[in-house]
Amino acid sequence: MQEIEILQQAIYKTIDDIEHWQEVLCLMCQLTGASKGIISLRDGLTAELVIPTDVRQELSSPLLYGFSETEIGSYVTHYISLDPWTPFEKLFHPSEPTSLAKFVDLKTLQNSEFWQWLEPQGITDTTVLEIGQSAPNWIAMNLYYPTTTDTIKKKVLEYTRKLQGSMQDAWRIGQRLRASEQAPNRLGYFLERQPQAALILSATGEIILENNKAVTLKETETNIYQLNNRCFVFHDPQLQGQLQEAMQALRLSADGRLDEIKFSSKTLDLTLTLIEKAEDQLGTDSGARLLSIGLVSAQLLPLWNNALLTKRERQLVELLANGGKIVDFINSYEMSKSTGHFHWQNVKRKLGIKDRSEIQVKHQLYLQSL
């Protein structure tokens, strides 16, 4: 299957450059007989096309093939709301390639106002399939063709079924690569200048970059957050819900009036800031968010300032936090080796630690919060 191999090579090129998807659409049309193709972002609830700003303004996109500016313009300004295929793309999500002629026959098309857009192009059917996700939305590929014979439709369905997995892999990897490229080196300096633990998140919550304070926080306070498929997730479900609401609110803030949202829990003070508004060729929100995590003041105390510790145990913790060793503690207070280790065992039990390196890491976190 030399044609399949040619298409696979073109698909893998899209990982480095999203604009190569136009080559995929072109080859797919040439090799199957389809006349036009599009890759689009679809609303997760309605399946309607999300039209990027660049397409509205320039009437072109590397994710379109075969359409004239007039055809694009009339669809965007008028026919998008009349598309009879969209309701069926919502009802029957195309997790595998699907010909929509099975839902909307030719007579129904001809009796619709949408036919005024289709007829001059010679289009009577489209095959749609999902090639990616961009929560809460999804990415669709549509290939358009006439149905004078079944030959084109059969070949479109054959090729898209064989290549859907490759396209999904390429889209997912390329999406991650594009997200990582949105974090230039200068952001690293910006993050390290933040007074608190700070992370830059994508619109879907994926961690793009984090400062050393955030790394330390994750290592020392393991009950605060975790990674789930590269995405930031609070352990506290209520706090995670607040974060998701804040992410959505900033996404919807197109007028620039809402750029920062503060929320908190009993132990954390949090700020989510929109530091970049952007969208990619699909119209997907690709803006970056800065999440700042501050421990409430009750936690910003020296580790030895703990009511569970005795006076001698506090002295031991302070010495260890500043780089000392157990033997230094024993010598400083002229006690027996067994007494010194007795205090150390009590400290480990009361603070829930295993070795003195944990004390030093926690102390560094405290110093960074000052």
134-179 pLDDT, tens digit each: 878 999 999 999 998 899 999 999 999 999 999 999 998 888 777 6
Do 129 and 216 share a structural domain?
no
Tell me which of 245, 266, 297 is where a domain ends: 297
Residue 112 has pLDDT above 80, yes or no: yes
In this structure, what token pair is assigned to residue 169?
């892999």
Note the pTM of the prediction, 2 decimals. Answer: 0.58
Residue 256 has pLDDT above 50, yes or no: no
DSSP 267-325: SEEEEEEE----B-TT--B---EEEEEEE-GGG-S-TT--TTS-HHHHHHHHHHHTT--
Mean pLDDT of the 20-37 span: 96
Q: Which residue has better confidence, 249 or 289?
A: 289
Residue 189: domain span: 185-297
Q: Are 39 and 160 in contact (CB under 8 A)?
A: no
Question: Is there a domain that residue 364 lies in?
Answer: yes
Residues 269-287 have pLDDT tens digits of 889 988 876 666 677 777 7
Q: Which CATH number do you get for residue 281?
A: 3.30.450.20
Tell me which of 141, 163, 180 is where a domain ends: 180
CA 324 to chain centre: 43
List beta partners, residue 25: none
pLDDT at position 265 is 81
Q: Are strands 207-210 and 225-228 parallel, antiparallel or unpaired?
A: unpaired
Do 255 and 235 share a structural domain?
yes
Confidence class of residue 253 from pLDDT cuts 50, 70 and 90? low
Residue 132 has pLDDT above 60, yes or no: yes
In this structure, what token pair is assigned to residue 335?
């006690």
Do 144 and 258 share a structural domain?
no
Number of domains within the chain: 3
Do 284 and 343 share a structural domain?
no
pLDDT at position 180 is 65
Confidence class of residue 93 from pLDDT cuts 50, 70 and 90? very high
Among residues 89, 90, 163, 162, which one has the least CA distance to residue 127?
89
pLDDT at position 164 is 95
Residue 11 has pLDDT above 90, yes or no: yes
Task: Match 């009879």 to its residue by tokens.
Answer: 84
Q: For a pLDDT cut of 90, what percent of the chain falls above it?
A: 49
pLDDT at position 227 is 87
pLDDT at position 278 is 67
Q: Are 270 and 291 in contact (CB under 8 A)?
A: yes
Do 164 and 33 share a structural domain?
yes
Among residues 75, 124, 119, 129, which one has the least CA distance to residue 101?
124
Do 327 and 236 share a structural domain?
no
Question: Is there a domain that residue 303 lies in?
Answer: no
Q: Are 292 and 264 in contact (CB under 8 A)?
A: no
Mean pLDDT of the 280-306 span: 75
pLDDT at position 298 is 46
Helix extents (H) in the chain: 2-13, 21-32, 53-58, 69-77, 86-91, 106-110, 115-118, 151-181, 185-192, 212-220, 237-252, 311-321, 326-332, 337-351, 356-369
pLDDT at position 35 is 96
pLDDT at position 183 is 52
Residues 182-208 have pLDDT tens digits of 555 567 778 888 888 999 998 889 998
Among residues 230, 98, 100, 95, which one has the least CA distance to residue 165?
95
Q: Which residue has better confidence, 46 or 365?
A: 46
Question: Is there a domain that residue 304 lies in?
Answer: no
Q: Which CATH number do you get for residue 84?
A: 3.30.450.80
CA 348 to chain centre: 39
Residues 227-247 have pLDDT tens digits of 888 899 999 898 898 898 888
In this structure, what token pair is assigned to residue 16?
């480095």
Among residues 337, 329, 334, 330, which one has the least CA distance to residue 304?
329
Q: Which of 17-31, 120-134, 155-169, 258-272 has the lowest mean pLDDT?
A: 258-272
- Between CA 121 and CA 214 the distance in angstroms is 55
Confidence class of residue 88 from pLDDT cuts 50, 70 and 90? very high
Residue 369 corresponds to which amino acid?
A: S
Dihedrals phi, psi of 270, to nearest 5 degrees: -125, 145
In this structure, what token pair is assigned to residue 130?
């999902």
Do 165 and 191 share a structural domain?
no
In this structure, what token pair is assigned to residue 13?
């090129």
